[in-house]
Structure 1
Amino acid sequence: MSTEGVQQPGLEDEDLLEGWKAIADHLNKTERTVQRWEKAKALPVRRLKSGSSEDQGRVFAYKTELDAWWQEMLTRPDGLTPEPDRPPGHSPQTGPPPEPLPTRPWHSSSFWVVITLAVILGVVTLLRMPDPAQNLRPQPSRSRVTLAVRQFRNLNDTSGNDTSSQDFVAVGLTEEMVTHLGQLHPQQMSVIRLTPGYAAATLDRLAKDIRADYVLEGSIRQIANRMTISAQLVQVSSQTVVWGHSYERDVKELLRVQEEVAAAITGEVLNNLPHTAPAAREVNREAYLAYLEGRYFWNKRTTESLTRALDLFQHSVTIDPTYAPSYAGLADCYELLGSAPYTALPPNQAFPKAETAAKKALELDSTLAEAHVSLGYSKLVYEWNLSEAEKELARALQLRPDYATGHQFYAYYLTAIGNLGAAIAERKRALELDPVNPLLTSALGEAFYQNREFDRTIEQNSKSLQLDPSYAIALVNIGRAYEMKGMHPQARDAFEKVLAVAPDDPAVLALIGHEYALSGEKAKAAGTISKLQQLSTHKYVPAIYVALVYTGLHDLDHSFAWLDKAFDERSEYLVYLPTEPLADPLRGDPRFSQLLQRLALKKIVIAAAP
């Protein structure tokens, strides 16, 4: 439905779009699509009635009105039909690719919470101030302000060989900012953590890529026992600093600042804005720094870094046995070390320890979403208790609806029960909350793979590699998709890129062994089985990996024999067999249905590839 206008818009108005082509370009659609939306979806297009006969009937629109309309359509059940085009105002990424980032926001405490709350006080106060330019003409506003947070810079001397002890403080403080700001006012403010690759990104690029309204950035410097933290808030539209502050404290006195900042928050923010985050509690400084360093290494996602993170979380709980987030960190490490592709620990060793740690975290803090996710994941992949898994994962999202990792892990549950459409929707929601995260970008591609949308799998995981060219999981997903498309050279090339860096990785060896089998190179496939068995003499190699190669060889007797061993190991990947494309040769065998029954899973009717 168009809006009739009586005045001719001024050509100098930067918010103005004249003609169907300009409107279509802004929305990244065709002219035919936007013309249809005007009639069917009430796209806010205006028409001139005054002026010359040539001018009469010309169409125009305002960018702000179109953007507000777009946001409204995205939230309506009967809104826009999904299309591959980008949201309005978005353009392809340019410049250096961002680097991988953690997906799990951290819980709050200690000195960093003190500084976080002080910065949040300034940020929220500024974000609530009206933009004077908006008073010139009434404009519809977007549903939420988008705040981008750059990783805080470490200004200490990094010329030494080991800078991780300095870097993890900067990384940890950035995570605290994202977590607290995201919890403070989620209905009106969307908070996006930027990857380090965006460290030098211009404000114009941030406006185009993620439609950022504000950018929070800062730095940390420690000299002897003095710590200086500086933060500033930049408004993207005006490209000006609208708030800034520096905090300098003696390291030994940092915990005592908490009461001072908490009083300021209570007096100046909480009376005006809803704030559901729990009050910060004091924690032993050494325990908290060990927790931060543990998260730093956990986010690197290698077997070596996970093992180091495990030691750091254990050190943290030894110092302060009442600090719940460190127990959640322990649970996260054990679960990943017992899961593909890391599989450094047998599941029957890793997951009981993970559950114990997660339950301890919830005993200390029942509102800790991270611990509910950890417990729910263990219930799903180790205990095969679907109802309890759904309960814990849903509770995490109830506590933190905008928790990207919570949506990612809820998608694992949906995949296991065969609700692939809902799993894709959950992965998309996770990516909306953290749009420049290579892990979540790849996870959506994996959901497409489970749904047998192999072209979309390759496309989505290629985007992940643009964000982080070294992200091995994306290469694995691309290889699996090419193999299912029958494009064997491309599949082999993807797997070999990973093996060039990690030649003895059991998971990727199994995948390329399956590829050898499908390509008719049975001798190479048999050689891969021998290598996996040889590796198993000095490290844990999941039985499901050997079963995979036998499946490629269509040796189903050996395949089911090794799947029985995987069942005895309680392999975490078994829950995904109902929809795993590589398991298709097994589906017609009665032993497959029997295995699913033992896992308390239902046999899924597999649709043909779209």
Structure 2
Amino acid sequence: MSKVDMETGNMPEDKFLKKVKEIILAHLEDDSFGVANLAREMGLSRSQLFRKLKSCSNYSANQLIRNIRLAEACKLIEEDTYTVSEVAYKVGFSSPSYFNKCFHDQYGCAPSDYLKTKTEQAVPVEKTLQRSLRPVLKIVIPAVMVLSVILLLSLIRNNSNTSVNAASVSEHSIAVMPLLDLSENKQREHIAVGLTDAIILELSRIKNLRVISRGSAMLFQDSVLPYSNIAAQLGVNLLLEGSIVYNDDSMRVTVQLIEPFPEEKHLWANKYEESSLNIIHLSNDISNAIANEIELVVDDSKKTSSVNPNVYDLYLKAHHLWLTQKPQSIRDAIDYLQQSMAIDSGYAPAYSLLAECYISLNKFIRNNDEKLKNRQNGRAAIDKALNKAIEIDGSLAEAYITKGNILGKFDYNWEGMKTMVEKGLKLNPNKSTGYIALYYYYLVKGELDKCIAMAHKAEELDPLNPRTLNTVANAYVLAGRYSEAIEQYQDVIKMFSDYGFAWDGLGYAYYMMGDTTNAIEAWSELHRIIGNTELVKYYQTESFKKSIRFWLDKTTTGEKMYCSNPSIIAMVHLFVDDPEGAMDYIEFAYKYKHLDLPFMIIKPNFRKLYNHPGFNEIAKKVGVNLNNYKKMNI
């Protein structure tokens, strides 16, 4: 630990919390300021900050940042100088609607009603904040303070939006919480992430056990919520948590299995000492021990992998970089994978990940000619990598699922896609990505009941992933169930206020209901997130059709393009009743094999083109069954 770390870590609680508050206030208007920024300015790691805050306030950093932002919002509202939206931005909320929701959850009223109800508040806001920064575990606390703390905790727990109770949790289900890295050396974060993923993978092979995806469990990495709340939100009845400490040549992992319902019970705990060079062996030991504890039978054919330690370390670094979905990080990931293959060409997951990296890189190319050329040139490399992965390990589920996605989205070979994805899910039924792939299959077939079922299955496995939740909402839109879609989009936005796809989908659902006012408001939020301030200002002052025509003008001409996706541009032409303009861009999208094309032309407002011969011909070429959509009463 550095000198700065030691000074901060040993700081008295009151001074520590005072410094935390000063830093947060200094970045109050910065909506991107979060836990990582706070930890860096405090001179601590995220895990050190988490432990220190928990010990002296019993709140996570996220909760503390939000409480301070809301308290400052109250002060600004009392000044009666700014609108509610202006207050939201001044205290670091990127979305006024999410600010309203958090404010109501904290104080029991909307920001606009705060001044009216202030005199009825039992406790002033500043004192509420002070309590949130005060240690709650003291030997003697006056009765009134006890009641106040209980009420405040109750507010936070209610704010967790627990939508699943213990009774609704499936019989055998588990979430692996991200392992807490307690090592002094923070330069090998990929090992903790990789070991968490390896345990999830091994547990996913257990029959009759539903394993939640890592992305959803990640949301609770710094949470101080009770285990029962976390388990209820994830829809599981078992939690695995633990920590990892490693140095140059060894690693110690401590894990415990927790049953949160009906009363919290620690079923089992163990410590594992291994060479840090043998992570796969360690993950097998842990998952097998858990399997025995929950009395499930592990397939006898499962074998402990033997992988060169340097190969696996390079693979973990590559996987960690790929998760960021940033162009340079993915290029670095490819370099790590190629290094690993030079050492040992027999590790199947490396080839499967290499294919995913090639696919991801194509997403970042905006020029359509360059995008198509890159996809055509990269296809051979993708196929080679996936075929090699399957050749080495025929039980690698993700390789089949990725291969299926390629067959469908690149070649319009939807039956081939279904066959491959189902094979992958048979090998590992806990892959939410497989169910999302089948969701797309049933979309092009026009079998919306099955499509919605696949979306819900993916949601069950990855219940707090915005992409998964958004998929459910999209399915409702395509089925004409707009009210349900709006409710689902709003739920996504409550949890992920800056998730642009949810704002975009919400705007479309409102549009299809004939509510252009709310549609424009939702799309304004989308473009505020993206940074298109010129467009946001235009949306706020002009009519719906003028705003859409302005968007089209800025997208189809000039240097600054709000969108380069021809399928989306085609859809927007229909907002202003321009079917020929829409057809021009549909033909353009088909020419350049845009991956979104089959899934865009089945959106309800494309029904305006159902009698257009050219539209029907392209739908047929990309494998979309329009007949089923034409029968729907939407």
TM-score by length of 1: 0.66
In 1: Cα distance, 2:588 partner to 2:311 partner: 40
Is the CA contact (8 Å cut-off) linking 2:535 and 2:551 kept in structure 1? Answer: no
In 1: Cα distance, 2:158 partner to 2:471 partner: 22
In 2: Cα distance, 1:318 partner to 1:364 partner: 16
Is the CA contact (8 Å cut-off) linking 1:445 and 1:458 kept in structure 2? Answer: yes
Is the CA contact (8 Å cut-off) linking 2:175 and 2:217 kept in structure 1? Answer: no
Matching residue of 1:67: none
- Tell me how many residue pairs correspond in the alignment: 464
Pair 1:357–1:474, CA change in 2 (3 A)? farther
Q: Would you say 1:289 and 2:313 are equivalent positions?
A: yes
In 2: Cα distance, 1:393 partner to 1:169 partner: 29
Pair 1:498–1:191, CA change in 2 (3 A)? closer
Query: For 1:200, what is the secondary structure of its paired residue?
Result: coil
Deviations 1:43-81 (A, max 9, x none): xxxxxxxxxxxxxxxxxxxxxxxxxxxxxxxxxxxxxxx
In 1: Cα distance, 2:188 partner to 2:506 partner: 36
Q: Would you say 1:177 and 2:199 are equivalent positions?
A: yes
Q: Would you say 1:420 and 2:444 are equivalent positions?
A: no
Query: For 1:233, what is the secondary structure of its paired residue?
Result: strand
In 2: Cα distance, 1:408 partner to 1:555 partner: 32
Q: Would you say 1:529 and 2:555 are equivalent positions?
A: yes
Query: For 2:307, what is the secondary structure of its paired residue?
Result: coil
2:274 corresponds to which of 246, 249, 258:
249
Matching residue of 2:596: 573
Q: Which amino acid aligns with 2:518?
A: Q
Q: Which amino acid aligns with 1:229?
A: V
In 2: Cα distance, 1:320 partner to 1:504 partner: 47
Query: For 1:416, what is the secondary structure of its paired residue?
Result: helix
- CA shift, 1:393, in A, is 1.6
- CA shift, 1:563, in A, is 2.2
Is the CA contact (8 Å cut-off) linking 1:369 and 1:395 kept in structure 2? Answer: yes
Task: Extract unaligned runs of 5+ from structure 1.
Answer: 1-91, 99-139
Matching residue of 2:304: 280
In 1: Cα distance, 2:391 partner to 2:354 partner: 15
Is the CA contact (8 Å cut-off) linking 2:517 and 2:544 kept in structure 1? Answer: no
Matching residue of 1:349: 374
Query: For 2:219, what is the secondary structure of its paired residue?
Result: helix
Matching residue of 2:246: 222
Is the CA contact (8 Å cut-off) linking 2:244 and 2:253 kept in structure 1? Answer: yes
Task: State which drifts further: 381-390 or 480-489.
Answer: 480-489
In 2: Cα distance, 1:412 partner to 1:580 partner: 13
Pair 1:262–1:501, CA change in 2 (3 A)? closer
Deviations 1:286-328 (A, max 9, x none): 3323322333343344556555544444444444332221222
Q: Which amino acid aligns with 1:239?
A: E
Matching residue of 2:108: none
In 2: Cα distance, 1:259 partner to 1:486 partner: 53
Is the CA contact (8 Å cut-off) linking 1:372 and 1:393 kept in structure 2? Answer: yes
Query: For 1:234, what is the secondary structure of its paired residue?
Result: strand
Deviations 1:506-541 (A, max 9, x none): xx999x99xx9962446513422345x6358xx993
In 2: Cα distance, 1:609 partner to 1:379 partner: 31
Matches within 5 A, 1:13-412: 94-95=158-159, 144-157=171-184, 165-184=187-206, 186-187=207-208, 193=214, 194-198=216-220, 199-206=223-230, 208-210=232-234, 212-237=236-261, 238-251=263-276, 254=278, 273-275=297-299, 278-301=302-325, 306-338=330-362, 346-350=371-375, 352=379, 353-412=381-440
Is the CA contact (8 Å cut-off) linking 1:294 and 1:308 kept in structure 2? Answer: yes
Alignment RMSD: 4.2
In 2: Cα distance, 1:440 partner to 1:366 partner: 27
In 1: Cα distance, 2:453 partner to 2:280 partner: 44
Task: State which drifts further: 306-315 or 487-496.
Answer: 306-315
Is the CA contact (8 Å cut-off) linking 1:144 and 1:190 kept in structure 2? Answer: no
TM-score by length of 2: 0.64
- CA shift, 1:568, in A, is 1.9
Deviations 1:56-110 (A, max 9, x none): xxxxxxxxxxxxxxxxxxxxxxxxxxxxxxxxxxxx9844589xxxxxxxxxxxx
Matching residue of 1:454: 482
- Choose between structure 1 and 2 for higher RCO, CA contacts under 8 A separated by at least 6 residues: 1
More helix by share: 2
- CA shift, 1:486, in A, is 2.7
Is the CA contact (8 Å cut-off) linking 1:407 and 1:430 kept in structure 2? Answer: yes
In 2: Cα distance, 1:313 partner to 1:517 partner: 52
Is the CA contact (8 Å cut-off) linking 1:441 and 1:464 kept in structure 2? Answer: yes
- CA shift, 1:247, in A, is 2.2
- Identity percentage over the alignment? 21
In 1: Cα distance, 2:617 partner to 2:574 partner: 17
Pair 1:312–1:95, CA change in 2 (3 A)? farther
Matches within 5 A, 1:539-578: 541-578=564-601
In 2: Cα distance, 1:262 partner to 1:147 partner: 14
In 2: Cα distance, 1:260 partner to 1:96 partner: 33
In 2: Cα distance, 1:283 partner to 1:509 partner: 53
2:495 corresponds to which of 467, 477, 494:
467
Is the CA contact (8 Å cut-off) linking 2:182 and 2:244 kept in structure 1? Answer: yes
In 2: Cα distance, 1:311 partner to 1:148 partner: 32
In 2: Cα distance, 1:597 partner to 1:220 partner: 54
Q: Which amino acid aligns with 1:195?
A: A
Is the CA contact (8 Å cut-off) linking 2:195 and 2:283 kept in structure 1? Answer: no
Matching residue of 1:137: none
Is the CA contact (8 Å cut-off) linking 1:437 and 1:467 kept in structure 2? Answer: no
- CA shift, 1:424, in A, is 0.3
Q: Which amino acid aligns with 1:227?
A: M
Q: Which amino acid aligns with 1:587?
A: Y
In 2: Cα distance, 1:586 partner to 1:269 partner: 58
Q: Would you say 1:593 and 2:621 are equivalent positions?
A: no
Pair 1:228–1:429, CA change in 2 (3 A)? same
Is the CA contact (8 Å cut-off) linking 1:228 and 1:246 kept in structure 2? Answer: yes
Pair 1:391–1:145, CA change in 2 (3 A)? closer
Query: For 2:411, what is the secondary structure of its paired residue?
Result: coil
Query: For 1:572, what is the secondary structure of its paired residue?
Result: coil
Task: Extract unaligned runs of 5+ from structure 2.
Answer: 1-155
Matching residue of 1:477: 505
In 2: Cα distance, 1:222 partner to 1:402 partner: 30
- CA shift, 1:210, in A, is 4.6
In 1: Cα distance, 2:630 partner to 2:535 partner: 27
Q: Which amino acid aligns with 2:555?
A: I
In 2: Cα distance, 1:391 partner to 1:260 partner: 29
Is the CA contact (8 Å cut-off) linking 2:238 and 2:258 kept in structure 1? Answer: yes
